[in-house]
């Protein structure tokens, strides 16, 4: 057993201990399990939201994108930054509505906003479909990191299995509390590893940051600017705006919002998190260094650029620390994802079938859903093929289709009722699905369209159609909604 492997196992054991210990002294209820009884302060919310940013993507995808696509990778920190700016306006409103109406999941939020159980089911379904690829990516990423960092002593499948078991055990025992406690260790580790590598590697190989970029400019000059077509300026702008709107609608991030103890907690985090996100740039420095130092990695192998450079540069004990940090970057986001997914399914489906179920029954069902979600993701890890790649491409596009329904709801507008919201969401989802399967672009309809318009993210187009359909259907069905509300009084909902 090499020293790298021992260190990785040590990190796995500490994560498991912290995850289980998190629930000591707490009486577990559904509220406590799902959203920490809405009691998390600024630090835990900071760590949990940052935890959704610093995932295995930072290790593999961040450096891999810089390696394969150059400056197009900058879209990641930029859309996250704009999401925080947007969150200052939007998220406190969501929190206040959730607090007043005792909402603990995303499907429940939409269900109560529009007084529509059908809309809750649609949102629960879309949320789960969007979540599974994320969980699979994290588990696969975990497998790759641990396998590479252990010099192949553990296979990727074995590493993914160990990770899935650890995360399932501590989520079933501690719920979101387990995520919060392991997030502390994870963020300390990721900060140290990414910043250290991002500075050390350019200085070690090139003598500094600017000499590193000059070396990249010499061998791959296109890497340092956005391309004229494809990953172009219009692609960049449409993608960062679209993803900024979608960021807080991902079920796992939405759950973190609901676990805050006050709107002020969320606002404080909105101020500090953009600066924290800048640290992703250090992962890009490693990817850019690898363009010169580890040339020739093709396609998905570009994601291995960081690990190849690390194993080439450092002793096994340090590679073990990098592997341990990589393990933690998978465990924390996966734990939040399966918690939010399970609560979403419980409130979106089980509570509709059994509205009078006890808190204990709901907690048990939530834990069963935790196991079912991780098992589904694990099957995709073992068997995943093109279906998963398609799901991954469209998961952000899918979740952003909830944006119009949420935005109109803030204004209690006659332009969006439950029928319009559902019709708009389903139309938008169909466009995203169609695009993911056929790689459809605007140029297929308008052959002479300039590339600046053709490069616009198709999710953006889907949202515009979503709004148009939603408004038309709402205006046509407002009288039906009024009659329904008069004949059977809706559940009492306290608005903004």
Partner 1 sequence: RYFQLLLIVPFLMANRVEPYVLGLPFLLFWIVLWMVLSSFILFIVYKLDPENEGSETE
Specify the residue, 14 or 237, whose C-beta has the smaller distance to partner 1.
237
CB of 92 to partner 1, least distance (A): 8
Specify the residue, 134 or 284, whose C-beta has the smaller distance to partner 1.
284
Asked if residues 52 and 250 have their Cβ atoms less than 8 Å apart, the reply is yes
CB of 198 to partner 1, least distance (A): 12
CB of 284 to partner 1, least distance (A): 8
Specify the residue, 223 or 365, whose C-beta has the smaller distance to partner 1.
223
CB of 355 to partner 1, least distance (A): 35
Specify the residue, 97 or 134, whose C-beta has the smaller distance to partner 1.
97
Specify the residue, 87 or 182, whose C-beta has the smaller distance to partner 1.
87
| Distances 264 to 181, 218, 251, 390 between C-alpha atoms, Å | 22, 48, 21, 38
Asked if residues 345 and 376 have their Cβ atoms less than 8 Å apart, the reply is no
Residues of the shown chain interacting with partner 1 in the complex, contacts defined by CB under 8 A: 41-42, 71, 74, 77-78, 81-82, 84-86, 88-89, 92, 208-210, 213, 217, 221, 224-226, 233, 241, 261-265, 267-268, 270-272, 274-275, 277-278, 281
Question: Dihedrals φ, ψ of 430, to 5°?
Answer: -60, -45
CB of 257 to partner 1, least distance (A): 16
Specify the residue, 275 or 453, whose C-beta has the smaller distance to partner 1.
275
CB of 359 to partner 1, least distance (A): 28
CB of 463 to partner 1, least distance (A): 15
Backbone conformation region of residue 27, classed left if phi is above 0, alpha if psi is from -120 to 50, else beta:
beta
Q: Which two tokens stand for residue 211?
A: 């000499």
Specify the residue, 265 or 340, whose C-beta has the smaller distance to partner 1.
265
Asked if residues 330 and 55 have their Cβ atoms less than 8 Å apart, the reply is yes
Asked if residues 461 and 442 have their Cβ atoms less than 8 Å apart, the reply is yes
Specify the residue, 222 or 491, whose C-beta has the smaller distance to partner 1.
222
CB of 282 to partner 1, least distance (A): 12
Specify the residue, 33 or 46, whose C-beta has the smaller distance to partner 1.
46
What sign results for the dihedral spanned by CA atoms 376, 186, 165, 159?
A: positive
Specify the residue, 83 or 144, whose C-beta has the smaller distance to partner 1.
83
CB of 53 to partner 1, least distance (A): 13
CB of 429 to partner 1, least distance (A): 26
Specify the residue, 88 or 411, whose C-beta has the smaller distance to partner 1.
88
CB atoms within 10 A of CB 272: 13
Specify the residue, 110 or 248, whose C-beta has the smaller distance to partner 1.
248
CB of 64 to partner 1, least distance (A): 17
CB of 228 to partner 1, least distance (A): 10
Q: Please state, in angstroms and rounded to a whole number, the distance separating the CA atoms of residues 193 and 325.
A: 7
Placement of tokens 């250290």 in the chain = 196
Q: Please state, in angstroms and rounded to a whole number, the distance separating the CA atoms of residues 253 and 337.
A: 8
């Amino acid at each position: 057993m090499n020293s790298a492997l021992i260190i990785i196992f040590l990190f796995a054991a500490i994560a498991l201990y912290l995850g289980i210990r998190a629930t000591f002294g707490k009486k577990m209820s559904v509220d406590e399990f799902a959203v920490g009884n809405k009691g998390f302060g600024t630090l835990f919310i900071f760590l949990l939201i940052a935890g959704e940013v610093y995932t295995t993507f930072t290790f593999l995808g961040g450096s891999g994108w810089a390696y394969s696509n150059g400056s197009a990778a900058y879209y990641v920190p930029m859309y996250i930054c704009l999401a925080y700016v947007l969150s200052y306006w939007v998220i406190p409103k969501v929190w206040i509505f959730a607090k007043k109406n005792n909402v603990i999941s995303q499907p429940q939020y939409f269900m109560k906003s529009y007084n529509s159980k059908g809309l809750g089911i649609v949102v629960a379904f879309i949320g789960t479909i969007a979540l599974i690829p994320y969980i699979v990516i994290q588990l696969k990423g975990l497998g790759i990191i641990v396998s590479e960092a252990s010099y192949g002593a553990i296979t990727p499948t074995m590493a993914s299995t160990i990770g899935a078991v650890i995360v399932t055990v501590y989520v079933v025992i501690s719920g979101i509390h387990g995520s919060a406690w392991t997030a502390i260790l994870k963020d300390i580790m990721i900060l140290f590893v990414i910043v250290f590598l991002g500075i050390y590697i350019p200085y070690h190989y090139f003598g500094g940051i600017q000499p590193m970029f000059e070396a990249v400019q010499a061998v791959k000059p296109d890497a340092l600017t956005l391309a004229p077509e494809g990953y172009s300026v219009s692609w960049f702008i449409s993608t960062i705006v679209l993803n900024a709107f979608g960021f807080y609608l991902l079920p796992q991030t939405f759950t973190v919002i609901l676990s805050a103890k006050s709107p002020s907690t969320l606002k404080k985090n909105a101020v500090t998190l953009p600066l924290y996100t800048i640290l992703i740039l250090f992962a890009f420095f490693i990817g850019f260094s690898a363009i010169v130092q580890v040339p020739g990695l093709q396609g998905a192998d570009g994601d291995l650029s960081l690990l190849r450079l690390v194993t080439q540069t450092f002793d096994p004990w340090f590679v073990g620390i990098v592997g341990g940090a990589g393990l933690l970057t998978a465990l924390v986001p996966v734990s939040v994802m399966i918690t939010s997914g399970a609560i979403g399914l419980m409130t979106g489906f089980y509570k509709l079938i059994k509205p009078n179920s006890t808190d204990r029954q709901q907690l048990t069902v939530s834990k069963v859903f935790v196991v079912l979600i991780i098992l589904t993701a694990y099957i995709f890890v073992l068997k995943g093929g093109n279906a998963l790649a398609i799901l991954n491409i469209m998961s952000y596009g899918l979740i952003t289709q909830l944006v119009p329904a949420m935005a109109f709801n803030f204004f209690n507008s006659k332009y969006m009722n439950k029928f319009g919201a559902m019709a708009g969401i389903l139309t938008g989802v169909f466009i995203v699905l169609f695009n993911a399967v056929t790689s459809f672009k605007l140029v297929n309809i308008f052959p002479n369209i300039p590339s600046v318009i053709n490069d616009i993210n198709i999710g953006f187009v889907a949202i515009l159609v979503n709004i148009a359909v939603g408004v038309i259907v709402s205006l046509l069905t407002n009288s039906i909604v009024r009659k329904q509300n008069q004949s059977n009084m809706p559940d009492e909902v306290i608005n903004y």
